[in-house]
Amino acid sequence: MADLLELTAELVAMPSVSFEESTFVDWLEDQLGQLDHLETVRVGDNLVARTNLGRTQRLVIAGHTDTVPPNGNAQARIDGDTLWGVGSADMKGGLAVALQLAREVTNPRYDLTFIFYAREEVAQEHNGLNELTAERPDLLAGDCAILGEPTSALIEAGCQGAMRFQLTLAGARAHTARPWMGRNALHRLGPVLAALAAYEARTPTIDGCVYREAIQAVSVEGGVAGNVVPDQVVLKIHHRYAPDRSPQQAESFVRELLAPHIELAPDAVTANTENTDGAKRDESSGARSGDESARKGGYDELVVLDQSPACLPSMNHPILQKLVTDNNLEVKSKLGWTDVARFDQLGIPATNFGPGDATVAHAADERLERSSIESVYSALRALVQPD
Protein backbone atom coordinates (compact mmCIF):
# COMPACT_ATOMS: atom_id res chain seq x y z
CA MET A 1 0.00 0.00 0.00
CA ALA A 2 1.26 3.48 -0.82
CA ASP A 3 1.81 5.81 2.13
CA LEU A 4 -1.60 7.43 2.06
CA LEU A 5 -0.79 9.89 4.83
CA GLU A 6 2.14 11.24 2.82
CA LEU A 7 -0.03 11.41 -0.30
CA THR A 8 -2.63 13.40 1.65
CA ALA A 9 0.11 15.71 2.93
CA GLU A 10 1.12 16.31 -0.69
CA LEU A 11 -2.47 17.31 -1.49
CA VAL A 12 -2.74 19.53 1.60
CA ALA A 13 0.44 21.33 0.51
CA MET A 14 -1.36 22.44 -2.66
CA PRO A 15 -3.75 25.29 -1.68
CA SER A 16 -7.30 24.92 -2.97
CA VAL A 17 -9.49 27.37 -1.07
CA SER A 18 -12.97 27.70 -2.61
CA PHE A 19 -12.85 29.50 -5.98
CA GLU A 20 -9.06 28.99 -6.06
CA GLU A 21 -8.94 25.28 -6.92
CA SER A 22 -7.77 25.63 -10.52
CA THR A 23 -4.04 24.93 -9.95
CA PHE A 24 -4.83 21.93 -7.76
CA VAL A 25 -7.24 20.56 -10.37
CA ASP A 26 -4.57 21.12 -13.07
CA TRP A 27 -2.30 18.80 -11.06
CA LEU A 28 -5.02 16.18 -10.61
CA GLU A 29 -5.81 16.33 -14.33
CA ASP A 30 -2.15 15.73 -15.15
CA GLN A 31 -1.93 12.79 -12.74
CA LEU A 32 -5.11 11.10 -13.92
CA GLY A 33 -4.48 11.89 -17.58
CA GLN A 34 -1.42 9.64 -17.46
CA LEU A 35 -3.55 6.59 -16.66
CA ASP A 36 -4.44 4.71 -19.85
CA HIS A 37 -7.35 2.83 -18.28
CA LEU A 38 -9.24 6.05 -17.52
CA GLU A 39 -11.13 8.55 -19.64
CA THR A 40 -10.59 12.03 -18.15
CA VAL A 41 -12.99 14.93 -18.73
CA ARG A 42 -12.75 18.43 -17.26
CA VAL A 43 -15.70 20.79 -16.97
CA GLY A 44 -14.59 24.12 -15.53
CA ASP A 45 -12.74 23.23 -12.33
CA ASN A 46 -14.52 19.89 -12.05
CA LEU A 47 -12.66 16.76 -13.07
CA VAL A 48 -14.14 13.35 -13.90
CA ALA A 49 -12.09 10.21 -14.57
CA ARG A 50 -13.83 6.94 -15.41
CA THR A 51 -13.38 3.44 -16.71
CA ASN A 52 -15.43 2.20 -19.67
CA LEU A 53 -15.08 -1.55 -19.43
CA GLY A 54 -18.69 -2.52 -20.08
CA ARG A 55 -19.33 -3.75 -16.55
CA THR A 56 -22.95 -4.34 -15.55
CA GLN A 57 -22.72 -1.77 -12.72
CA ARG A 58 -20.98 1.56 -12.22
CA LEU A 59 -19.84 2.92 -8.86
CA VAL A 60 -19.27 6.66 -8.41
CA ILE A 61 -16.62 7.79 -5.92
CA ALA A 62 -16.80 11.53 -5.36
CA GLY A 63 -15.22 14.30 -3.33
CA HIS A 64 -14.80 18.07 -3.35
CA THR A 65 -11.44 19.68 -4.06
CA ASP A 66 -11.90 22.92 -2.11
CA THR A 67 -11.07 23.73 1.49
CA VAL A 68 -12.00 26.55 3.82
CA PRO A 69 -9.36 29.31 4.24
CA PRO A 70 -6.43 28.23 6.43
CA ASN A 71 -6.33 29.25 10.08
CA GLY A 72 -2.65 29.11 10.88
CA ASN A 73 -2.59 25.58 9.44
CA ALA A 74 -1.74 26.10 5.77
CA GLN A 75 1.37 23.91 5.99
CA ALA A 76 1.04 20.13 6.05
CA ARG A 77 2.84 18.48 8.96
CA ILE A 78 3.13 14.78 9.76
CA ASP A 79 3.81 13.91 13.39
CA GLY A 80 4.01 10.15 13.82
CA ASP A 81 0.73 8.76 12.49
CA THR A 82 -1.08 12.10 12.42
CA LEU A 83 -1.23 14.61 9.57
CA TRP A 84 -2.02 18.21 10.51
CA GLY A 85 -3.19 20.86 8.08
CA VAL A 86 -6.17 22.60 6.51
CA GLY A 87 -8.33 20.19 4.53
CA SER A 88 -6.57 17.09 5.87
CA ALA A 89 -9.88 15.71 7.15
CA ASP A 90 -12.29 17.70 4.96
CA MET A 91 -11.53 16.26 2.57
CA LYS A 92 -8.11 15.75 1.05
CA GLY A 93 -7.86 12.44 2.83
CA GLY A 94 -10.89 11.30 0.87
CA LEU A 95 -9.37 12.66 -2.35
CA ALA A 96 -6.13 10.79 -1.66
CA VAL A 97 -8.10 7.55 -1.33
CA ALA A 98 -9.87 8.19 -4.64
CA LEU A 99 -6.62 9.13 -6.41
CA GLN A 100 -4.81 6.03 -5.18
CA LEU A 101 -7.70 3.78 -6.19
CA ALA A 102 -7.69 5.37 -9.64
CA ARG A 103 -3.96 4.70 -9.96
CA GLU A 104 -3.88 1.13 -8.66
CA VAL A 105 -7.16 -0.55 -9.64
CA THR A 106 -6.92 -0.89 -13.42
CA ASN A 107 -9.36 -3.79 -13.83
CA PRO A 108 -12.16 -3.11 -11.33
CA ARG A 109 -15.14 -5.29 -10.46
CA TYR A 110 -17.46 -2.43 -11.42
CA ASP A 111 -16.94 0.41 -13.82
CA LEU A 112 -15.70 3.32 -11.74
CA THR A 113 -16.31 7.05 -12.00
CA PHE A 114 -14.11 9.35 -9.91
CA ILE A 115 -15.55 12.85 -9.50
CA PHE A 116 -13.42 15.69 -8.13
CA TYR A 117 -15.72 18.70 -7.93
CA ALA A 118 -15.25 22.33 -6.94
CA ARG A 119 -16.73 24.82 -4.48
CA GLU A 120 -18.55 22.64 -1.97
CA GLU A 121 -17.58 24.75 1.04
CA VAL A 122 -19.46 27.85 -0.15
CA ALA A 123 -23.05 28.69 -1.08
CA GLN A 124 -24.92 25.87 -2.81
CA GLU A 125 -25.38 27.88 -5.99
CA HIS A 126 -21.62 27.66 -6.63
CA ASN A 127 -21.30 23.90 -6.11
CA GLY A 128 -19.46 22.24 -8.97
CA LEU A 129 -21.96 19.38 -9.11
CA ASN A 130 -24.51 21.93 -10.35
CA GLU A 131 -22.15 22.75 -13.22
CA LEU A 132 -21.72 19.08 -14.09
CA THR A 133 -25.46 18.46 -13.87
CA ALA A 134 -26.16 21.35 -16.25
CA GLU A 135 -23.39 20.72 -18.78
CA ARG A 136 -22.53 16.99 -18.64
CA PRO A 137 -25.11 15.04 -16.63
CA ASP A 138 -23.90 11.86 -18.34
CA LEU A 139 -20.66 12.11 -16.34
CA LEU A 140 -22.61 11.70 -13.10
CA ALA A 141 -24.34 8.48 -14.13
CA GLY A 142 -23.95 5.48 -11.85
CA ASP A 143 -25.74 2.71 -9.97
CA CYS A 144 -24.68 4.07 -6.58
CA ALA A 145 -22.24 6.60 -5.16
CA ILE A 146 -19.84 6.89 -2.23
CA LEU A 147 -18.97 10.39 -1.04
CA GLY A 148 -15.61 10.60 0.72
CA GLU A 149 -16.65 13.15 3.35
CA PRO A 150 -15.00 12.57 6.75
CA THR A 151 -16.91 9.93 8.71
CA SER A 152 -14.14 8.45 10.89
CA ALA A 153 -14.11 5.40 8.58
CA LEU A 154 -17.74 4.57 9.46
CA ILE A 155 -20.81 4.72 7.24
CA GLU A 156 -22.91 7.85 7.78
CA ALA A 157 -26.09 7.12 5.88
CA GLY A 158 -28.32 9.67 4.18
CA CYS A 159 -28.29 13.22 5.48
CA GLN A 160 -30.60 15.70 7.13
CA GLY A 161 -32.12 18.54 5.20
CA ALA A 162 -31.21 22.15 5.90
CA MET A 163 -33.43 25.21 5.65
CA ARG A 164 -32.70 28.87 6.47
CA PHE A 165 -35.42 31.35 7.37
CA GLN A 166 -35.47 35.10 7.82
CA LEU A 167 -37.99 36.49 10.28
CA THR A 168 -38.60 40.23 10.24
CA LEU A 169 -40.52 41.54 13.24
CA ALA A 170 -42.18 44.93 12.88
CA GLY A 171 -42.35 47.77 15.38
CA ALA A 172 -42.75 51.53 15.45
CA ARG A 173 -40.08 54.10 16.29
CA ALA A 174 -40.41 56.41 19.25
CA HIS A 175 -38.19 58.32 21.63
CA THR A 176 -36.99 56.15 24.51
CA ALA A 177 -38.38 58.80 26.87
CA ARG A 178 -41.87 58.03 25.50
CA PRO A 179 -41.67 54.34 24.46
CA TRP A 180 -45.46 53.86 24.75
CA MET A 181 -45.81 55.94 21.61
CA GLY A 182 -43.99 53.29 19.61
CA ARG A 183 -43.52 49.53 19.59
CA ASN A 184 -40.19 47.89 20.38
CA ALA A 185 -39.40 45.29 17.72
CA LEU A 186 -36.45 43.98 19.72
CA HIS A 187 -38.64 43.26 22.73
CA ARG A 188 -40.90 41.20 20.48
CA LEU A 189 -38.02 38.77 19.98
CA GLY A 190 -38.42 37.40 23.49
CA PRO A 191 -41.30 34.95 22.88
CA VAL A 192 -39.79 33.87 19.54
CA LEU A 193 -36.42 33.05 21.10
CA ALA A 194 -38.13 31.31 24.00
CA ALA A 195 -40.07 29.10 21.58
CA LEU A 196 -36.88 28.17 19.71
CA ALA A 197 -35.00 27.48 22.96
CA ALA A 198 -37.82 25.28 24.27
CA TYR A 199 -37.87 23.09 21.16
CA GLU A 200 -37.39 19.41 21.98
CA ALA A 201 -35.51 17.57 19.28
CA ARG A 202 -37.46 15.12 17.16
CA THR A 203 -35.45 11.91 16.77
CA PRO A 204 -36.96 9.57 14.17
CA THR A 205 -35.34 6.20 13.43
CA ILE A 206 -35.16 5.42 9.72
CA ASP A 207 -33.75 2.08 8.53
CA GLY A 208 -32.01 1.70 11.87
CA CYS A 209 -30.43 5.17 11.76
CA VAL A 210 -31.41 7.72 14.41
CA TYR A 211 -31.65 11.30 13.16
CA ARG A 212 -31.87 14.34 15.42
CA GLU A 213 -33.59 17.47 14.20
CA ALA A 214 -32.58 20.93 15.37
CA ILE A 215 -33.70 24.54 15.07
CA GLN A 216 -31.49 27.44 16.07
CA ALA A 217 -31.45 31.23 15.94
CA VAL A 218 -28.14 32.04 14.25
CA SER A 219 -28.05 35.83 13.85
CA VAL A 220 -29.98 38.96 14.78
CA GLU A 221 -29.89 42.53 13.50
CA GLY A 222 -31.77 45.49 14.92
CA GLY A 223 -31.55 48.84 16.59
CA VAL A 224 -31.44 52.42 15.34
CA ALA A 225 -29.77 54.62 17.94
CA GLY A 226 -29.23 54.74 21.68
CA ASN A 227 -32.36 56.80 22.30
CA VAL A 228 -34.71 55.32 19.69
CA VAL A 229 -37.22 52.51 20.13
CA PRO A 230 -36.32 50.13 17.25
CA ASP A 231 -38.95 49.61 14.58
CA GLN A 232 -37.55 46.42 13.06
CA VAL A 233 -35.50 43.37 13.99
CA VAL A 234 -34.30 40.65 11.62
CA LEU A 235 -33.69 37.15 12.95
CA LYS A 236 -32.16 34.33 10.91
CA ILE A 237 -33.09 30.77 11.82
CA HIS A 238 -31.50 27.49 10.73
CA HIS A 239 -33.50 24.25 10.74
CA ARG A 240 -32.10 20.74 10.28
CA TYR A 241 -34.78 18.18 9.50
CA ALA A 242 -34.79 14.40 9.19
CA PRO A 243 -35.13 12.65 5.83
CA ASP A 244 -38.64 11.36 6.59
CA ARG A 245 -39.90 14.92 6.00
CA SER A 246 -40.20 16.81 2.74
CA PRO A 247 -39.03 20.41 2.46
CA GLN A 248 -42.70 21.47 2.49
CA GLN A 249 -43.33 19.59 5.72
CA ALA A 250 -40.22 21.07 7.32
CA GLU A 251 -41.29 24.58 6.37
CA SER A 252 -44.78 24.00 7.74
CA PHE A 253 -43.32 22.82 11.04
CA VAL A 254 -41.30 26.03 11.48
CA ARG A 255 -44.21 28.24 10.53
CA GLU A 256 -46.50 26.46 12.99
CA LEU A 257 -43.88 26.68 15.77
CA LEU A 258 -43.58 30.45 15.36
CA ALA A 259 -47.21 31.19 14.49
CA PRO A 260 -48.35 32.17 18.03
CA HIS A 261 -45.62 34.79 18.27
CA ILE A 262 -45.75 36.58 14.93
CA GLU A 263 -48.33 38.69 13.13
CA LEU A 264 -48.51 38.05 9.41
CA ALA A 265 -50.53 39.87 6.80
CA PRO A 266 -53.89 38.12 6.16
CA ASP A 267 -52.82 36.87 2.73
CA ALA A 268 -49.68 35.33 4.25
CA VAL A 269 -51.55 33.55 7.03
CA THR A 270 -53.64 31.33 4.76
CA ALA A 271 -51.59 28.73 2.94
CA ASN A 272 -52.07 25.54 0.98
CA THR A 273 -49.07 23.47 2.01
CA GLU A 274 -48.24 20.07 3.46
CA ASN A 275 -48.67 19.66 7.18
CA THR A 276 -45.93 17.89 9.10
CA ASP A 277 -47.91 14.66 8.88
CA GLY A 278 -48.13 14.96 5.08
CA ALA A 279 -51.81 15.96 4.99
CA LYS A 280 -52.92 18.89 2.89
CA ARG A 281 -54.31 21.96 4.54
CA ASP A 282 -55.91 25.18 3.38
CA GLU A 283 -56.54 27.08 6.55
CA SER A 284 -55.03 29.60 8.92
CA SER A 285 -51.53 28.65 10.10
CA GLY A 286 -52.37 30.08 13.50
CA ALA A 287 -50.29 33.21 13.02
CA ARG A 288 -52.19 36.19 14.38
CA SER A 289 -53.16 39.02 12.06
CA GLY A 290 -54.19 41.21 15.03
CA ASP A 291 -56.02 44.51 14.98
CA GLU A 292 -54.50 47.76 13.80
CA SER A 293 -53.22 48.80 17.22
CA ALA A 294 -51.63 45.41 17.94
CA ARG A 295 -49.57 45.53 14.75
CA LYS A 296 -48.48 49.11 15.08
CA GLY A 297 -45.73 49.59 12.57
CA GLY A 298 -46.86 46.91 10.12
CA TYR A 299 -46.95 43.16 9.68
CA ASP A 300 -44.17 40.63 10.29
CA GLU A 301 -42.59 38.56 7.54
CA LEU A 302 -41.21 35.02 7.53
CA VAL A 303 -39.41 33.89 4.36
CA VAL A 304 -37.31 30.89 3.36
CA LEU A 305 -33.86 32.05 2.26
CA ASP A 306 -32.68 28.69 0.92
CA GLN A 307 -33.05 24.99 1.51
CA SER A 308 -31.26 21.73 0.80
CA PRO A 309 -33.40 18.58 0.73
CA ALA A 310 -32.69 15.62 2.97
CA CYS A 311 -31.60 12.19 1.73
CA LEU A 312 -32.93 8.88 3.00
CA PRO A 313 -30.45 6.12 3.87
CA SER A 314 -29.66 4.05 0.78
CA MET A 315 -27.97 1.10 2.40
CA ASN A 316 -30.20 -1.47 0.70
CA HIS A 317 -28.22 -1.16 -2.55
CA PRO A 318 -26.20 -4.39 -3.09
CA ILE A 319 -22.85 -2.61 -3.58
CA LEU A 320 -23.29 -0.55 -0.43
CA GLN A 321 -24.52 -3.60 1.49
CA LYS A 322 -21.38 -5.47 0.41
CA LEU A 323 -19.18 -2.61 1.64
CA VAL A 324 -20.82 -2.75 5.07
CA THR A 325 -21.01 -6.53 5.41
CA ASP A 326 -17.50 -7.36 4.19
CA ASN A 327 -15.93 -4.83 6.55
CA ASN A 328 -18.34 -5.10 9.48
CA LEU A 329 -18.85 -1.33 9.32
CA GLU A 330 -20.95 0.59 11.80
CA VAL A 331 -23.79 2.49 10.11
CA LYS A 332 -24.88 5.79 11.65
CA SER A 333 -27.04 8.69 10.52
CA LYS A 334 -25.56 11.82 8.93
CA LEU A 335 -26.85 14.73 10.97
CA GLY A 336 -25.42 17.41 8.71
CA TRP A 337 -26.02 17.92 4.99
CA THR A 338 -23.79 16.53 2.26
CA ASP A 339 -23.91 16.09 -1.49
CA VAL A 340 -25.35 12.58 -1.15
CA ALA A 341 -28.64 14.48 -1.42
CA ARG A 342 -27.66 15.72 -4.89
CA PHE A 343 -26.97 12.17 -6.07
CA ASP A 344 -30.24 11.04 -4.50
CA GLN A 345 -32.10 13.67 -6.53
CA LEU A 346 -30.48 12.19 -9.65
CA GLY A 347 -31.83 8.78 -8.68
CA ILE A 348 -28.43 7.47 -7.53
CA PRO A 349 -28.34 5.84 -4.07
CA ALA A 350 -25.43 7.38 -2.15
CA THR A 351 -23.75 7.25 1.22
CA ASN A 352 -20.94 8.98 3.13
CA PHE A 353 -17.76 7.01 3.83
CA GLY A 354 -14.40 8.66 4.25
CA PRO A 355 -11.34 9.12 6.45
CA GLY A 356 -11.03 11.80 9.09
CA ASP A 357 -13.07 13.14 11.98
CA ALA A 358 -15.75 15.61 10.91
CA THR A 359 -15.66 17.31 14.32
CA VAL A 360 -12.19 18.76 13.59
CA ALA A 361 -13.02 19.86 10.05
CA HIS A 362 -12.50 23.61 9.51
CA ALA A 363 -10.76 23.92 12.89
CA ALA A 364 -7.25 25.23 13.50
CA ASP A 365 -6.26 21.75 14.74
CA GLU A 366 -7.71 19.88 11.74
CA ARG A 367 -5.93 16.55 11.39
CA LEU A 368 -6.08 13.06 9.92
CA GLU A 369 -5.01 9.77 11.49
CA ARG A 370 -3.20 7.09 9.51
CA SER A 371 -5.48 4.32 10.76
CA SER A 372 -8.55 6.14 9.45
CA ILE A 373 -7.34 6.63 5.89
CA GLU A 374 -5.84 3.16 5.64
CA SER A 375 -9.09 1.56 6.84
CA VAL A 376 -11.15 3.43 4.25
CA TYR A 377 -8.73 2.66 1.44
CA SER A 378 -8.56 -1.04 2.32
CA ALA A 379 -12.35 -1.35 2.43
CA LEU A 380 -12.88 0.43 -0.89
CA ARG A 381 -10.09 -1.40 -2.64
CA ALA A 382 -11.51 -4.75 -1.53
CA LEU A 383 -14.92 -3.58 -2.76
CA VAL A 384 -13.80 -2.72 -6.29
CA GLN A 385 -10.92 -5.17 -6.84
CA PRO A 386 -12.04 -8.48 -8.45
CA ASP A 387 -11.56 -11.60 -6.34
* Fold of the 161-308 domain: Alpha-Beta Plaits (3.30.70)
For domain 4-158+311-384, which architecture applies?
Answer: 3-Layer(aba) Sandwich (3.40)
**Average pLDDT of 265-270?**
72
Amino acid type, 356: G
**Average pLDDT of 67-85?**
97
**Average pLDDT of 29-55?**
98
- In the predicted model, what is the mean pLDDT of the chain? 92
CB 375 within 8 Å of CB 355: yes
Active site amino acids: 66, 120
C-alpha of 378 from chain center = 26
pLDDT digits (tens, 9 = 90+) for 108-149: 999 999 999 999 999 889 999 999 999 999 999 999 999 999
Domain ranges for the chain, please list them.
4-158+311-384, 161-308
The residues with which 63 forms a beta bridge, in sequence order, are 116
What separation in angstroms does the CA of 240 have from each of 123, 162, 248, 334? Answer: 17, 5, 13, 11
pLDDT at 295: 53
What separation in angstroms does the CA of 91 have from each of 66, 240, 353? Answer: 8, 22, 11
Spatial CB neighbours of 282, under 8 Å, sequence gap ≥ 6: 270, 271, 272
pTM of structure: 0.86
pLDDT at 387: 80
